[in-house]
A and B are shown apart, each in its own frame.
Chain A
Amino acid sequence: VASRSNMELTADLHIIQENELPPWLLMYAQSDTSLDHLLEWNLFGISQLAQYEEMMRKLYKQQAIDIARKYEKMRVAINREIHRRDASRPPPRRM
């Protein structure tokens, strides 16, 4: 049974909706920083800038969560393998 709390967990760990983020901003966030100086942010208005800045913060948080999740999966996989070889060690918990 996919327990309800697991489903809630997944929902809660996705804090950004794809459509709320302009593709170019995602691109900016993920690209190499060497060309960032070409961007003329001062052409935007303050309210837009504030919005972009907030999205960047959210994206940052999302990525931090993603990293934590990635490591958590690895931890479960390692635990599983350890348990497989040595059943006296505790089985991994389900994710």
Chain B
Amino acid sequence: ALNKQPEEVFDIVGKLGEGSYGSVHKAIHRESGHTLAVKKVPVDTDLQEIIKEISIMQQCDSKYVVKYYGSYFKNSDLWIVMEYCGAGSVSDIMQTQSKGCVTFTTSRKIHRDIKAGNILLNTEGHAKLADFGVAGQLTDTMAKKEHRNWNAILDGSRTIEMAEGRPPYSDIHPMRAIFMIPTKPPPSFKKSEEWSPEFNDFIRQCLVKKADERKTASQLVEHKFIAEAPGSEVLQAMIRDAQEIQAASQNALAISASITEATMVDGGTTIIDGQYDATLIHNESYITAQSLKSQMESLRIGGEIPASAMSSSRIAPPPYENAQAAGIAALQGNANAFNNVGTGPNFAVGAEGDADSTFSSASQLNTEAEYENRFQRAMVDGDYEFLRSITLDELIKRKENLDFEMDQELTELQRRYQTKRQPILDVIETKKRQMF
């Protein structure tokens, strides 16, 4: 039925929720009367990445993973048709329960973006993992290699999120979390006495930092906490409660929108990638138009591929010769304007000290400007001596201001890179259009 328009195949009957960049709808399969879930994702994002994720979802044939049925292109959206999980996500239910539910913990595996929002429950209370980064592609990009170790730890943190309602580190600046997580002792419950000793111990075991000392998932499953966990009956009552509460609430959608937001505020890599790195999806495999087509067929993706999708997938044409020389020539001009030679990409590339600015070398710091200067300077060369000559009040003020100043610098960096990347992106766009 892939050659049909999706609306001939099923009827959309309502909206289930909104994710970080797509909405999820409830649909009825016309032929069988089955209920389905349809996720609509705009395809101006990297199609190759989406295909990769769908293919993972398709290959997973497990009752713990939300089933994937097929996809359609509809206008500029990709509609991903999947199994309907009547009880919604764990985070939905947590909103209606004062305490979290603890039996979901078994489902942590392989998934790169596990959080309460991505663990769905069907009405029987069975937990299923949803979107293998189809949604995660924005939020979890470089994570694969660079942050593998941290992610394992973050996975354990999800369990705390599910029990306490918010993950560890959710109250600190996301960029700081990347330092906190590897250097601090593993997170634990804020009030450990509120949870059973088995649960506390289970969490401790999940959150062992060194990967080789950490138990494997299958070892963890044998932990007393899991092995002796009550069955899904416990959850069924909870789900019923939750559904009643949801039904009673008139603006259920408004709530689930805020839930989505809440689950986005999690510590560590997820946020870094999401917030500062939204477009930093890196893609090792370059593909031809032909293989893209065949991949889509094998993934049961129907309909016309919209141009916007083609332009974002990477298609390698024969390289133009001689181009490099021309590019380098044009760069000579820029090179002259470039006044910050000597910083390699591996250290403090972004740290531009105002080397020209003069300030007194003496230790009195009389003016605001001198403080400022010293501060900036210390940031660059790592000489923090000047801190000794400022007042305690000033120190505390400085410290309180750090997140704000860092944010400003990061925003400026982002703006700058947008400006620098745009011409490259524009040319890529134009060239692709010429090819079709």
Chain A interfacial positions (CB closer than 8 Å to B): 4-6, 8-9, 12-18, 21, 24, 26-50, 52-54, 56-75, 77-79, 81-82, 85-86, 93-95
Give A27 to B398 CA distance when docked, in angstroms: 33
Which listed residue (A16, A44, A95) contacts B183, Cβ 8 A?
A95
What residue in chain B is nearest A9 (Cβ atoms)?
B182
Residues 153-201 (chain B) with a chain A CB within 8 angstroms: 175-176, 178-179, 182-184
Residues of B within 8 A of A71 (CB): 176, 379, 402-403, 405-406
Give A69 to B346 CA distance when docked, in angstroms: 12
A67-B183 contact given A14-B346, A29-B420, CB 8 Å threshold = no
What residue in chain A is nearest B435 (Cβ atoms)?
A46
- How many B residues have CB within 8 A of the partner chain? 88
Residues of B within 8 A of A43 (CB): 320, 322-323, 326-327
Give A77 to B322 CA distance when docked, in angstroms: 51
Give A12 to B420 CA distance when docked, in angstroms: 25
On whether the beta carbons of A68 and B406 are closer than 8 Å, the reply is yes
Give A33 to B418 CA distance when docked, in angstroms: 11
On whether the beta carbons of B348 and A66 are closer than 8 Å, the reply is yes
Which listed residue (A17, A31, A39, A78) contacts B399, Cβ 8 A?
A78
Top 10 closest A-B pairs, CB basis? Answer: A63-B350, A31-B338, A77-B384, A43-B323, A45-B319, A47-B316, A68-B175, A32-B337, A60-B417, A41-B427
On whether the beta carbons of A24 and B427 are closer than 8 Å, the reply is no
A69-B432 contact given A50-B314, A62-B349, A63-B350, CB 8 Å threshold = no
On whether the beta carbons of B424 and A49 are closer than 8 Å, the reply is yes
On whether the beta carbons of A74 and B317 are closer than 8 Å, the reply is no
Chain B, residues 111-144, CB within 8 Å of chain A (1/0): the string is 0000000000000000000000000000000100
Contact of B423 with A by CB under 8 A:
yes
